[in-house]
Structure 1
Amino acid sequence: MSNAAPVLAAQGLVKRFFGNPVLKDVSIEIVPGRVHALLGENGAGKSTLVNLLSGVLSPDEGRLLVDGQPCARLTPALARRHGIAVVQQELSLAPHLSVVENVALGAVPTRRGLIDYRRLAVEVGRVLDRLGLDVALDQPVEELPLGRRQLVEIAKALYRQPRVLILDEPTSSLTAHEVQALFKVLAELKREGTALVYISHRMNEIMHLCDWVTVLKDGTRTADRTMDGIDPPALVRLMVGREPGDLFPPFRSTTRDEPALEARALTAPGVGGVDLVVRQGEVLGIGGLLGQGQEELLLALYGALDAQAERLATGGVDRPSRNPADAIGRGLAYVPADRKREAVLLPLSIGFNLTLPGLRRLARRGLRRFAREAEVARELTAKLNVRGGGPERAVQLLSGGNQQKVALARWLPLSPKVLLLNDPTRGVDVDTKREIYLRLKGMAAGGMAVILLSSDALELVHLCDRVLVFRDGRIAADLPHGQASEEAIVAASLGVARQEAA
Structure 2
Amino acid sequence: MVATAPLLAARGVSKSFFGNPVLRDVSIALQPGRVHALLGENGAGKSTLINLLSGALRPDGGAIEVDGRPVSRMTPAYAQQAGIAVVQQELSLTASLSIAENIGLGAYPRRFGLLDYPELAVRARAACDLVGLHEPLSMPVGNLSLGRRQMVEIAKALYRRPRVLILDEPTSSLSATETKVLTQLLERLRGEGIAILYISHRLNEVMALCQHVTVLKDGTCTADRSLEGTDANGLVRLMVGRDPGDLFPQWQASASAANAISVRNFSAGLMRDVDLDVRTGEVLGIGGLVGQGQEDLLLGLYGAIPARTASATVNGASGLPSGVPKANALGLAYVPADRKREGLHLIHSIITNMMLPAFARLPALKRRSRRAERETARGLAAQLGIKGDLDRPAQALSGGNQQKVALAKWMPHHPLALLLNDPTRGVDVETKREIYMMLRNFAAAGKAVVLLSSDTPELVHLCDRVAVVREGHIVAVLERGALSEEAIVSAAMGAEQRKVTA
Tell me the TM-score normalized by structure 2.
Answer: 0.97
Look up the SS of the partner of 1:52 in the other structure. Answer: helix
Partner of 2:196: 196
Offset at residue 498 of structure 1 (A):
9.1
Instruction: Indicate if the aligned counterparts of 1:264 and 1:276 stay in contact, CA closer than 8 A.
Output: yes
Partner of 1:115: 115
CA distance in 1, matches of 2:63, 2:298: 48
Look up the SS of the partner of 2:224 in the other structure. Answer: strand
- For 1:99-498, list aligned pairs within 5 A: 99-361=99-361, 365-387=365-387, 389-497=388-496
CA distance in 2, matches of 1:195, 1:391: 38
Offset at residue 256 of structure 1 (A):
2.1
Structure 1 residues 190-236: Cα deviation after superposition (integer angstroms, max 9, x where no partner): 11111000000111110111011111111111111111111100000
Look up the SS of the partner of 1:424 in the other structure. Answer: coil
CA distance in 2, matches of 1:345, 1:51: 22
Ranges of 4+ aligned residues in structure 1 off by more than 4 Å: 360-365
Structure 2 CA distance for partners of 1:91 and 1:360, relative to 1, 3 Å: closer
Offset at residue 59 of structure 1 (A):
0.6
CA distance in 1, matches of 2:436, 2:447: 14
Look up the SS of the partner of 1:434 in the other structure. Answer: helix
CA distance in 2, matches of 1:237, 1:132: 36
Instruction: Indicate if the aligned counterparts of 1:33 and 1:191 stay in contact, CA closer than 8 A.
Output: yes
Instruction: Indicate if the aligned counterparts of 1:362 and 1:372 stay in contact, CA closer than 8 A.
Output: no
Offset at residue 4 of structure 1 (A):
2.9
CA distance in 2, matches of 1:307, 1:362: 28
Partner of 1:95: 95
Offset at residue 363 of structure 1 (A):
6.0
Instruction: Indicate if the aligned counterparts of 1:283 and 1:450 stay in contact, CA closer than 8 A.
Output: yes
Offset at residue 360 of structure 1 (A):
4.7
CA distance in 1, matches of 2:7, 2:408: 43
Counterpart amino acid of 1:457? Answer: T
CA distance in 1, matches of 2:363, 2:86: 44
Counterpart amino acid of 2:454? Answer: S
Look up the SS of the partner of 1:13 in the other structure. Answer: strand
Structure 1 residues 348-379: Cα deviation after superposition (integer angstroms, max 9, x where no partner): 01111001101254568522121111111111
Instruction: Indicate if the aligned counterparts of 1:56 and 1:76 stay in contact, CA closer than 8 A.
Output: yes
Offset at residue 257 of structure 1 (A):
2.5
Offset at residue 20 of structure 1 (A):
1.4
CA distance in 2, matches of 1:136, 1:3: 45
Offset at residue 49 of structure 1 (A):
0.5
Offset at residue 258 of structure 1 (A):
2.1
Counterpart amino acid of 1:47? Answer: S
Look up the SS of the partner of 2:347 in the other structure. Answer: coil
Offset at residue 149 of structure 1 (A):
0.7
Question: Number of paired residues?
Answer: 497
Look up the SS of the partner of 1:128 in the other structure. Answer: helix
Instruction: Indicate if the aligned counterparts of 1:417 and 1:449 stay in contact, CA closer than 8 A.
Output: yes
Look up the SS of the partner of 1:174 in the other structure. Answer: coil
CA distance in 2, matches of 1:322, 1:362: 20
Look up the SS of the partner of 1:475 in the other structure. Answer: strand
Partner of 1:32: 32
Instruction: Indicate if the aligned counterparts of 1:488 and 1:498 stay in contact, CA closer than 8 A.
Output: no
Aligned sequence identity (%):
59
CA distance in 2, matches of 1:272, 1:283: 23
Counterpart amino acid of 2:95? Answer: P
CA distance in 2, matches of 1:480, 1:143: 34
Instruction: Indicate if the aligned counterparts of 1:300 and 1:306 stay in contact, CA closer than 8 A.
Output: yes
Structure 1 residues 131-179: Cα deviation after superposition (integer angstroms, max 9, x where no partner): 1101111221111111111111111110000111000000111111111
Q: Structure 2 unaligned runs (5+)?
A: none
CA distance in 2, matches of 1:118, 1:492: 42
Farther off after superposition, 339-348 or 176-185: 176-185
1:7 partnered with 2:11: no
RMSD, aligned α-carbons: 1.5
Counterpart amino acid of 1:130? Answer: L
Counterpart amino acid of 1:176? Answer: A
Structure 1 residues 282-322: Cα deviation after superposition (integer angstroms, max 9, x where no partner): 11111111112211100110111211111121122212111
Instruction: Indicate if the aligned counterparts of 1:89 and 1:170 stay in contact, CA closer than 8 A.
Output: yes
Tell me the TM-score normalized by structure 1.
Answer: 0.97
Structure 1 residues 57-116: Cα deviation after superposition (integer angstroms, max 9, x where no partner): 111111111111111110111111111110000001122111111100111111111111
Instruction: Indicate if the aligned counterparts of 1:303 and 1:323 stay in contact, CA closer than 8 A.
Output: yes
Structure 1 residues 471-497: Cα deviation after superposition (integer angstroms, max 9, x where no partner): 121111111111111111111112223
Offset at residue 335 of structure 1 (A):
0.3
Counterpart amino acid of 2:238? Answer: L
Farther off after superposition, 468-477 or 343-352: 468-477
Q: Structure 1 unaligned runs (5+)?
A: none
Farther off after superposition, 44-53 or 389-398: 389-398
Partner of 1:75: 75
CA distance in 1, matches of 2:221, 2:294: 40
Counterpart amino acid of 2:458? Answer: E
Instruction: Indicate if the aligned counterparts of 1:362 and 1:369 stay in contact, CA closer than 8 A.
Output: no
Structure 1 residues 230-259: Cα deviation after superposition (integer angstroms, max 9, x where no partner): 110000000001111100000012112321
1:56 partnered with 2:75: no
Look up the SS of the partner of 2:122 in the other structure. Answer: helix
